Amino acid sequence: MAAALQTRGSTSAAYRAAFRAVGSLRRETAFVTFVLIVQLLLTARLGGPGNATGSLSNVLLDIAVTILLVPYTMAIYRHALGLRSLSMWALLGEAIRRKDLVAYHLGWYLLGIPWTRGVAYLPSGLGLLILPAFFLVTIWLTCRLFPVGPALAIEGLEITARDAFRATAGQVWTIVSIGFRAAAPLVAIALLLAALIIATNGRTAPPVILGGTLILLFSVFGLVLRSVLEAQIFHALGLFSPGREVE
**pLDDT value of position 124:** 59
- Tell me the H-state helices in the chain: 10-24, 26-46, 52-80, 88-98, 100-113, 124-144, 148-152, 161-167, 172-200, 208-236
Q: Is 4 left (phi over 0), alpha (psi -120 to 50) or beta?
A: beta
Q: How many CB atoms lie within 10 A of CB 142?
A: 17
Taking only the tens place, the pLDDT of each residue in 207-219 is 566 667 778 888 8
Mean predicted confidence (pLDDT) in 174-195: 89
**pLDDT value of position 123:** 59
Q: The pTM is what?
A: 0.83
Q: Which of 61-65, 120-124, 172-176 has the lowest mean pLDDT?
A: 120-124
Cα separation, 229 vs 63, in Å, equals 23
Q: Which of 18-32, 45-59, 125-139, 152-166 has the highest mean pLDDT?
A: 18-32
Which residues, in sequence order, are CB contacts of 36 under 8 Å at separation 6+? 65, 216, 219, 220
Residue 87: pLDDT band with limits 50, 70, 90: confident
Give burial (CB, 10 Å; 0-12/13-18/19+) of 29.
buried
Taking only the tens place, the pLDDT of each residue in 98-118 is 788 888 888 888 877 666 555
Taking only the tens place, the pLDDT of each residue in 214-240 is 788 888 999 999 999 999 999 888 877
